[in-house]
A and B are shown apart, each in its own frame.
Chain A
Amino acid sequence: MIKVEDLYKSYGETVAVDGISFTAEPGRIFGLLGPNGAGKTTSIDCISGVHKPTSGRILVGDLDIVRNARQAKAQMGVVPQEVALYEEVSARENLHFWGGACGLRGADLKSRAGEVLELTGLIDRADDAVKKFSGGMKRRLNFGCGIMHRPPVLLLDEPSVGIDPQSRVRLLDLVREQASAGVTVLYTTHYMEEAESLCDELAIIDHGTILADGSLDELRSLVGEKDMVKLTGTFDPAEVSRALGDNLPEIEIMESDEAALLVSMSDAAGNLAALLGVLQENGVVLRETSVRRPSLETLFIKMTGKELRE
């Protein structure tokens, strides 16, 4: 289990994590979903003991990561965002080193390395230099190094960045297997689809703050059944607000400026024509219109006014 209470981390004037709290349970995958720079990696670094929190408390099981760093770290496997491997040596040698760094030795180390190579599908290339591996293979090995010592807690910091869809599917399956085996998994990503397909629970994070958290169903309920419609063009925000209020009061304006308008509305497919008509009657010049079905991304947009990948 990971329990994070009011975690705060700053670097001088810059606040990277601003008082986040959450709990990740054994056998479940807890996702931290947010754009780049949201504070996901800093949170992982604090939880894994790489960085010391400015304030707050982090428990790994019953162990405080600051007070019992060595014991707490022994409970965790970390899969960093970088492919943190030694490219000159083989996959097996990498597993041996990182397993040894986590306390494995002798026959146990060797047999576990064999298991992990099987698990990650790298057994045929076990003795090849890592520099000859594809990006997907390196990512799987990176994951394998994190689970060498059979940790009850697994931290994965955007482990699928930059890999092909096939390798991603395989990697996500490996993560699911760990959770099925009772491991507490904390998974950060900025891929909404990945979070939706993988995580049992999610926290949406931006600017170091958790905007919403809960199970997927709970978060979806926050979005409601309404679609999100984004329009770009030339707008007079005050005039648009008045016109929509007078003519289509059921439409909720989420974000409005002179170049874009974001609204929430039911059955966009059926009501879009009415919306466009009202806007054109009021002198709006439209360039582009997009409709999004209710999703985590629409929730993110609803909460931050921007898209996840912006």
Chain B
Amino acid sequence: MSNLRYTLVAIRKDIGRFLKDPVGLLLLICMPAMVGTLVNLAFGGSDDTPTARLMIADEDDSLLSGLLIGAFGQGEMAELINTESVTRAEGEREVYKGRATALLVVPEGFGDSFLNGEPDTLSLLTNPAQTILPGIIKETLEIMTTGGGLLREFLGPQIDLINSESGSVSDSFSDQTISSMAVDINNLMEGASTWLFPPAIKFENISADTTSATDAEASMVTDEEKTLLWYFFPSLLTLLLIFAGMMLSSDIWKERQAGTIRRGLSVPFPVRWMILGKLLAGTLVVLTVLLLAAAFGRFVLRLPHQSWLAGALFLSLTGATLISGMTALQVLFKTERGASIVVMFFVMVMMFGGGSFFPLEAMPDFMQKVAMYLPNGWALIHYKAVIEGNSAPGDLLVPVIILISIFILSWTFCSWQIARRWGSGSA
């Protein structure tokens, strides 16, 4: 029998163990799901109504721009959105520093363009650390722009009349003009309730993402599609990987205490093949759970993940490397207690520093830089690039080679350490 066959025997053995004791597997799935639920509740389940801080750079300063901006201060909207007039530069600074929810830029000539029936663009710069409040602002603006467009189409002749008579929307109108317009508007509104027109005003939403402008342009996932779950779901998957690494790597101590590692050292095959079987069995578990989770995200939660399958496979390989690395870390210590403390320390650092507990986008710049050097943060960045469509699955080749190399190194070290500490030294 070959070493490979022995490895397959060991894989089957550990898969059998996992299936016969599903509590661990359930914990593996439930813990990230629980964290996700808690975070969703924390960000979305509070009774306190959050307030958005909307910066408005009114470069047009016309009656129309004033009406548009004033709409945010009306009724219930005023309770949700605090508006502040700023210059474009001031607004951008506030958004980039994360102190404002969004910056709305009304460009110069916006009012005249509207009156002349020419399309114009409103710019909305949003804070990516917030999801719900920018979403409300975007929805409100969409309604306003659609309404504005309808108004322009319905009342084209009347607006033209205003335009020709006053020359500027800020000037006053004659009584005759106003009464004529009122009759026309009434007639038009009665007949136009069942059909729509394309909006005459469009707005573009620019996320204050720290990724490069080129990446943002190449993204196949529109900002409108990005929800809190979109941002947090990949983080939850890496959280799952961390839990899997911690749980599956600690099994080496269970085996040691049971005496099965020692017995494994007395069989004809080198113990490294038994360890490889163990690591690969853990990898298969992670692969299965990740595929199910990623498919759940894609097809049940309808998250707009591109290349979700390639992404899930990449994360599974990351999981294999985490299991292998953490197992190597476990056997570095003489006691399970010592190993547990150190592994838990690394788990905490990865969870909070690597974007698994908070979306990377919600973390300060310096923390995002730190996250890139943590295994889960590094994997998360590559994973998100693939599911966003910012990079093709083929671009993962180098990261995959890096992961496989680390897996092999960890496995070799782990086997050598087990043989050295728990046996004769021959792995």
Contact = CB atoms under 8 A, between A and B. Distances in A.
Nearest to A44: B266
A93 B266 CA distance: 19
Contact of A93 (B6, B13, B264): B13
B342 to A, nearest CB: 24
B369 interface: no
A8 to B, nearest CB: 15
Interface string A47-91: 011111000000000000000011101101010111111111100
Contact of A101 (B20, B21, B258, B264): B264
Interface of B: 1, 5-6, 9-10, 12-13, 16-17, 20-21, 258-260, 262-269, 274, 423-426
A293 interface: no
A84 B9 contact: no
Contacts of B424: 49-52
Contacts, number: 84
Given A51-B424, A70-B268, A101-B6, A78 B263 contact: yes
B426 A69 contact: yes
Contacts of A101: 6, 9-10, 264, 267-269, 274
Contacts of A45: 262
B17 A89 contact: yes
A117 B9 CA distance: 20
Given A84-B258, A97-B9, A101-B6, 14 more contacts: A45-B262, A49-B266, A78-B263, A80-B259, A82-B258, A82-B259, A83-B258, A83-B259, A86-B13, A89-B20, A97-B13, A98-B263, A100-B1, A102-B268
Contact of A48 (B13, B20, B266): B266
Contacts of A78: 263, 266
B267 A102 contact: yes
A129 B20 CA distance: 8
Interface of A: 45, 48-52, 69-71, 73-74, 76, 78, 80-89, 93, 97-98, 100-103, 105, 129, 145
A140 to B, nearest CB: 16
22 contacts: A45-B262, A48-B266, A49-B266, A50-B265, A50-B423, A52-B424, A73-B266, A73-B268, A74-B268, A78-B266, A80-B262, A82-B259, A82-B262, A84-B263, A85-B258, A88-B16, A97-B13, A100-B5, A101-B274, A105-B1, A129-B20, A145-B263
A237 B423 CA distance: 47
Contacts of A145: 263
Nearest to A69: B426
Contacts of B260: 84-86
